[in-house]
Amino acid sequence: MAGVPSTSTCTGDTKVTLASFDLWNKDRLVPFLRERGLPVTKDVNSLRALAFGATVMRAPLVPTPQEEQQKRCEDYNSILTVDGKRLPDPLVDLKCGWKKEEEGMQHWPPTMYADMAEYFCLGAADPEVDMRKKLMGDYKDGKAYSYFDAEFIHEVLYHPLSDESEVCFVRSTSARSQRRNDEPHQVWVALQKATGKILTAYCTCFAGLGASCNHVAGVLFKMDHAWATGITNKSSTSKPVEWTKPRKTVSTDAHKVNDMEWWSPKWSKGKKRQPINTPARKLFSPTKNSAPPTLEDLMSDLYVSNKDACSFQYGMPTATTAYRVEDDMNVDGVINLETCESVPPPLPDLVKLPTLPTFTTEQVNALVKATMAQSTNPNWTQQRIGRITASVARPVLVMADKAANGTPIAQSVLDGILGKRSVPSSLPALKYGRRMEPTAREAYITAMRSKGHKKLTVQETGLFVMQEHIYIGASPDGLVDCQCCVPPNGLLEIKCPLSIANADPKEKTPSYLQKKEGVLILSHTHNYYSQIQMQLLATNTAWCDFFVYTSHGYHLERVPADKKHQEELRVAASLVFEQIIRPKLQHRTDNATDASTSQDEGTQSQSEDPETPGIVDCPESAHAVNEAASTDTVHPPDSTARDAAPAPPPAKKRRVTRRQKKAPKAGPVYLCGICNSDCDNVTEDTDNSVGCDKCFRWFHWGCVGFEMDNLSDDWYCDECQK
């Protein structure tokens, strides 16, 4: 080959040179290159050079169709294998037993946006928050969400596998984005029934073996939308299901591009999305000079009108660059550094001091800034350990009364304050509240501005603590600033109850709202009222807007500061902290490795787990904590119930955490009084069930509309309340 140097290389024990291929003819070169996927249409000298390069680079052989099929089968089997167990193939093994969408959605696991973010970002090389946001942004603002928004996703079927199975399947089809008349893609997703966690997924599209294609995300967006609008709620089965049926492809007439409306679907915008071709864009003219007028333009126009003006006798004024005072032309670069007082240490470290310090305003602000994003921020979780926050205001008030009377206190509330126990983040009510909070915040701003508060703003915040009583804290859902209100600064507290997600709060009122003189207001005896008052106390503000939101309506009221109740809460918090919490924090600090401490307290300590927070604040049900501190009082059954059946254990409403045992003990099976399904192993608190303290029957939370904010000493079913 002319112009090619005599290059050589060694492959194993054989020395291969370019000259080694001079004797190869085209009939030999073509099969050699074709097996490696290289082009074979060039001249013979180029083919010899390609063969030499393929040998030097050790180009692999292109797999045969049989080998490719075998590889796809192996990959598909790996998708079906979860935690070492192979699941049945939804496309082959599960020919029957699928429930249609209208019936099956009542059994859908609580799979929401947070589960999608965890699943799609789990394999990301960069686990940082910015990368996670970018990855999920591609799904929310790209094709994935548009598949759902454009109704490409068809009916979602549900398969429970069996009553004992912890895994279920959802299955659907997705229309093709280009060739709409072709066979739609088959999509299935395996989910955990209890938590809604996404285990694995598959689609028949080209990227389906990656288990994270846009069609899979489209199905998950449809499930997220169903939970957000509340149509999965069992209590709404008597109403017509408000669900968008996938529309058939219809032909459209031709129009001018300028007369057409172009939309870009975005998950965050929902129904409030704006067209791409806005009026401002339509009015834009590329021939019009949009540059702002300059000083030279002004002086040129003035010169034409009056050339003899004295200002023009000394030359035409020109514009000069006006540098800011802080700019220095002799400095290569400026780095902006923000300095502030360091964040105070956590409370378990401060209790070592003889007396607790008083925080300055700068320290409080630094703590607020360091704990932004609240439950997703590890600093927020760490700083709340040992502090009495607003979410447990009323339980602490009850605890103070019991401590003063010498009666037993609720260990579960105390463990939550000490950071030994937390509410599982997989609870549907908790996930729903976090899912709906950003939407509710935007709805609140819209509602307030429609009422005349045009310049109202809402800012997210972190953990506030009182300067004089640093063991009292609060994490509001927002800081409100409105110049037309007196005083202008207030708080925002959002509640998104899952139990009425498919209804308007004004029509189907939750238990914490009551009518007084024909007006719906927050009950002053409910934990939410005490929570708001402690938030106002910790932030030193005068009012809080209480906003109950669902996708079908909202309730909004302004709660003023109740100084009398605030003082009761402060005194109770001081009593509980000094007599109960502070000694335990000091003991915990001095004997951090003593395993007997948790045993003496009658509970297993979880403080050694870095992922175990305290009681988590969330927009659902008083941040998923107990309404009132209850004791372990056992209510004995009457003789009639005892003779009829073995009485189940007393209802432990305050135990909302579910510890998974390695070897759970087999216990008696109790059927739900509504659906007659099993309330599995209620003695171990592993099922979301509640027991009636009068008839001693058990019920699923969803069957009786029970919420965590209803937790109290006693609970009675509807029949026993009559």
Q: What contacts 24+ positions apart, CB below 8 Å, involve 70-79?
A: 72/209, 75/209, 76/202, 76/209, 79/200, 79/201, 79/202, 79/209, 79/211
Q: Where are the beta strands (DSSP E) in 68-195?
A: 81-82, 85-86, 157-159, 167-174, 185-192
Q: Say what the pLDDT of residue 599 is.
A: 34
Q: Structural domain boundaries of the chain? A: 8-56, 81-232, 343-630, 639-721
Q: Say what the pLDDT of residue 656 is.
A: 39
Q: Say what the pLDDT of residue 131 is.
A: 47
User: How far is residue 716's CA from residue 706's CA, in Å, rounded to a whole number?
Assistant: 11
Distances (CA, A) of 93 to 89, 97, 159, 161, 198: 5, 11, 12, 11, 20
Q: Say what the pLDDT of residue 290 is.
A: 56
* Residues with pLDDT less than 70, the chain: 1-14, 122-142, 180, 233-253, 257-293, 313-341, 588-688, 693-694, 696, 700-714, 718-722
Confirm whether 343-630 and 639-721 share one CATH topology.
no
| Separation of CA 717 from chain center | 33
User: How far is residue 132's CA from residue 136's CA, in Å, rounded to a whole number?
Assistant: 6
Q: 236-250: b or e for each residue (b if 16 or more CB lie within 10 Å)? A: beeeeeeeeebeeee
Pinpoint the alpha helices (H) of 107-229: 113-120, 129-141, 143-149, 214-229
Amino acid at site 689: S
Half-sphere exposure of residue 9, counting CA atoms within 13 Å on the CB side? 9
Q: Say what the pLDDT of residue 597 is.
A: 35
CATH tag for 639-721 (out of 3.20.20.80, 3.40.50.200, 3.90.1150.10, 3.30.40.10): 3.30.40.10
Q: Where are the beta strands (DSSP E) in 625-694?
A: 670-671, 678-679, 689-691
- H or E segment and range at residue 606: none
pLDDT digits (tens, 9 = 90+) for 48-98: 899 888 888 888 888 878 888 888 888 888 888 888 888 999 988 888 889
Paired residues of 691 in beta bridges = 698
pLDDT digits (tens, 9 = 90+) for 496-516: 988 888 888 888 888 888 888
Which residue bears the tokens 């192979």? Answer: 86
User: How far is residue 714's CA from residue 710's CA, in Å, rounded to a whole number?
Assistant: 10
Confidence (pTM):
0.60
Which residue bears the tokens 């372990």? Answer: 632
- Beta strand pairing call for 464-465 and 472-474: antiparallel
Spatial CA neighbour of 113 closest among 245, 259, 234, 223: 223
CB atoms within 10 A of CB 709: 24
| Separation of CA 440 from chain center | 14
DSSP string, 386-436: T-EEGGGHHHHHHHHHHHHHT----HHHHHHHTTS----TT-HHHHHHHHH
Q: Say what the pLDDT of residue 541 is.
A: 92
Fold of 343-630: Lambda Exonuclease; Chain A (3.90.320)
